[in-house]
Structure formats: C-alpha cells, structure tokens
C-alpha cells in the first residue's frame, strides 16, 4: 500500500505538469500569455548578450538542439541531471550551452512562472543564434512540453564516419528526408571538431596507411601540422575551412565541400555521393541556403515532441521508463530539470521512491 500510494503521488505530480502546455506546436504559442512580456524577446536578450561576448555559442546551441531532438524527440531531456542521463553519454560530453538555457529559463520564470518549457527555449535560442551569426530568420514553432525521462543508454547519434546511406537512414528514422539531412549538416558552417575524429582521414584512411584521397592535399598537409599523430592534446580545427566564414552561418560550408575541403568524412561524402551531390551543388551555387536551413530546423524541431496532455513515457506502476532501460539490479530512473530554481528531480525504484519538486522556488514534497 505504501509503495502504491507513493506512485499515486508521482502520478499526481506528472499530471499536474500537463497543464503547463496545451495544444499543438504553433508560431507564437506564448503570445499574450506572459502579461506584457514577450517570451521570445526575453530569450533573445540572453542569447544576444552572450553572443557578443562569445560567438562560439552559435555552434554550441545548434549542437545542443540537434542532440536533444535526436533522442526521445525535442523534449529538453538532454538538460536533465543524473548519473545515467543523456548528459553522461559519451557523444554529449562536449556539448555546451546548458548554462545559457538555464539563464533564459530563469529570466522567463521570473516573468511568467510555470509557462515556458525548456524544450521551447532551446529551439528559440538556436534560432536566435543562427540569426545573430548571419543566417536567415525563421519563425520557431512553440508549445512543446519537457520530457521527464533521460537515459544515456538511448543516445545513438549519427557518427562522423557514417556513409551517406547510413546518415540518410539515421535521419529517416526521425522523419527527415535526404534534403533535410544535407541542410542540417550545413550547421557545420560554424564550430570546430577534435583532431581525434580526423586521424584516420589524415594518416590511415580505411587501413590503407595513406591519407583520404578525397581530401585536398594542401588542406591535408595543414591539418596534419595541427593534428599530429599520438599527440598528447586533442586539438580542434574549424569545420568550415574558409577563414572569412568560420563564425558565419552561410553556404560557405558547401562551397568547401565542392573543392574537397570537407573536414569530417560524412561532410566530404555529401559532395561525392550521387544521392546528395546535386543538393550540395545547388546550395553551394544558389541563394536559398538561409531559407531552406530555417525550414529544416523547424522540421527537426518537431521531432517526436510532447504537446498538450500527452503522457510522459513512464510506467507509473513500476516507476520505470518505457521501454525499460537494460540494467542490472533494481530498475531506477533519475529525472530532473537542471540547476536553477525551476528544477525538477525525481528518483524512482521498486523499493524506494523519492520525489523532490522545486517549482516556482519552493519544494512541494520533501
């Protein structure tokens, strides 16, 4: 009885969160819902202030949004703290931008408590960053609910070494087509990658003992000087090798691919594979990248979203995520919003359930 009562309380708390968001995704979801304040303007204020201090947040926020949407959909589950959450999966070790989302969330909470989801803030922040870096403006659909489950074991992102066919399949599983994939990889127009992801292309491509023949030889020589074999430090190199465009969201990335100056293997293969080379050429030579990139970002931002009164994917009888994670011993999930006063954390197991809700600055259950 005691255990069932505890889960009844959990059910009440989870159901109470469904009232925070209502309806499907739409542009202007929060319009006139925060008094005289505009939610998107408040988020933009935070992102703009940080951008002029550190323009690398553009790539960071794009990556944060992508990594969130590709696991359980765009539900901010990547923000949740815990030993076994998405944050602690190896592909997410170098993801940044959490502090910016926290800052924006705190500002919005101060104006309209309990209204705006972290998932929407991530999407808005990514759009604002793109625009500040010279990309086109696009309207963000909002109305997402935050997820309550985050599992490192579910993080399975497309790898830099994927073939085009493998990447098409991975994006296809998320409802994105080949053109969407080529456009979203255009996010590599900003940001850096680590030398460890280039070693095979520079020194031993596909175990040939030679560099990747599809890379420009002059570029390969430069990169080998920046990325020596067996280096003690894992250096970084720009994903867009046009020095005048490394911090600008534009079509330069595709132009570099056309002259064999792609950095990651998947990037260069886009220009070589017959499934994608026509799209790359069109983007490199045309004038539609900004508009089309925005459209692809909107489409990605709608992946598997929670809206309205959809239930979180949690089995209230067992306290386990569904489908249950593969783990030895007692099933347990850890869920929670991160570090500021809007945090929600919970640990649930068959033997023990501990709930701690910090919402609007006060605990409801201790």
Choose between 206 and 327: higher pLDDT.
206
pLDDT band (50, 70, 90) for residue 309: low
Q: Check the annotation: does 234 bind a ligand.
A: no
Percent of the chain whose pLDDT exceeds 70: 78
Q: Which residues are catalytic?
A: 67
Q: Check the annotation: does 236 bind a ligand.
A: no
Q: Check the annotation: does 73 bind a ligand.
A: yes
Q: Which range (131-135, 299-303, 343-347) has the least confidence?
A: 343-347
Q: Check the annotation: does 86 bind a ligand.
A: yes
Q: Check the annotation: does 156 bind a ligand.
A: no
List pLDDT tens digits, range 33-68: 998 899 999 999 999 999 999 999 999 999 999 999
pLDDT band (50, 70, 90) for residue 4: very low
Task: Tell me the C-alpha distance between 168 and 341, whole Å.
Answer: 40
Rounded to a whole number of angstroms, the distance between the first and last alpha carbons of the chain is 20
Q: Check the annotation: does 68 bind a ligand.
A: yes
List pLDDT tens digits, range 225-267: 999 998 889 999 999 999 999 999 999 999 999 999 999 999 9
Burial class (CB in 10 A: 0-12, 13-18, 19+), 360: exposed
Q: Check the annotation: does 8 bind a ligand.
A: no
Buried b (16+ CB within 10 A) or exposed e, 195-209: bebbbbbbbebeeee
Percent of the chain whose pLDDT exceeds 90: 75
Task: Tell me the C-alpha distance between 63 and 71, whole Å.
Answer: 13
SS (H, E, C) 40-101: HHHHHHHHHHHHCCCCCHHHHHHHHHHHHHCCCCCCCHHHCCCCCCHHHCHHHCCCCCHHHH
Of 132, 63, 8, 354, the C-alpha closest to 346 is: 354
Q: Taking all residues of the chain, what is their mean pLDDT, rounded to a whole number?
A: 83
Whether residue 191 contacts residue 56, with contact meaning beta carbons closer than 8 Å, is answered with yes
- Provide the pLDDT for residue 310: 56
Of 299, 188, 201, 197, the C-alpha closest to 254 is: 188
Q: Check the annotation: does 240 bind a ligand.
A: yes
List pLDDT tens digits, range 310-358: 554 444 343 344 444 433 333 333 444 443 333 344 433 333 333 233 3
- Provide the pLDDT for residue 331: 37
């Amino acid at each position: 009885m005691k255990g069932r009562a505890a889960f009844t309380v959990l059910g009440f708390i989870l159901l109470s969160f469904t009232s925070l968001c209502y309806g499907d995704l739409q542009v202007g979801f929060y319009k006139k819902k925060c008094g005289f304040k505009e939610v998107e303007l408040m988020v933009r204020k935070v992102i703009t202030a940080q951008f002029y201090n550190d323009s690398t947040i553009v790539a960071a926020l794009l990556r944060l949004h992508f990594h969130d949407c590709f696991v359980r959909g765009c539900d901010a589950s990547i923000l949740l703290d815990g030993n076994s959450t998405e944050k602690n999966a190896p592909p997410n070790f170098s993801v940044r931008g959490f502090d910016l989302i926290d800052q924006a969330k705190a500002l919005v909470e101060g104006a309209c408590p309990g209204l705006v989801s972290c998932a929407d803030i991530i999407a808005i922040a990514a759009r604002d960053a793109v625009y500040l870096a010279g990309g086109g403006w696009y309207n963000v659909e909002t109305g997402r609910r935050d997820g309550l489950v985050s599992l490192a074991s579910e993080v399975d992102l497309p790898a830099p070494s994927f073939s085009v066919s493998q990447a098409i399949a991975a994006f296809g599983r998320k409802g994105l087509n080949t053109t969407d994939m080529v456009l979203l990889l255009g996010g590599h127009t900003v940001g850096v990658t680590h030398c460890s992801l280039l070693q095979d292309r520079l020194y031993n491509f596909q175990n040939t003992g030679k560099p990747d023949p599809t890379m420009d030889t002059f570029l390969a020589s430069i990169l080998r000087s920046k990325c020596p074999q067996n280096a003690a430090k894992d250096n970084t190199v720009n994903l867009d090798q046009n020095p005048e465009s490394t911090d600008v969201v534009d079509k330069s990335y595709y132009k570099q691919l056309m002259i064999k100056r792609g950095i990651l293997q998947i990037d260069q293969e886009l220009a070589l594979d017959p499934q994608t080379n026509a799209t790359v050429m069109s983007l490199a030579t045309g004038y539609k990248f900004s508009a089309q990139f925005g459209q692809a970002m909107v489409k990605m931002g709608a992946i598997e979203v929670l809206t309205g009164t959809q239930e979180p994917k949690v089995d209230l009888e067992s306290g386990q995520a569904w489908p249950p994670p593969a783990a030895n011993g007692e099933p347990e999930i850890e869920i929670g919003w991160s570090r500021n006063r809007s945090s929600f954390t919970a640990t649930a197991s068959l033997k023990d359930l501990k709930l701690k809700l910090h919402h609007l600055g006060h605990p409801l259950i201790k």
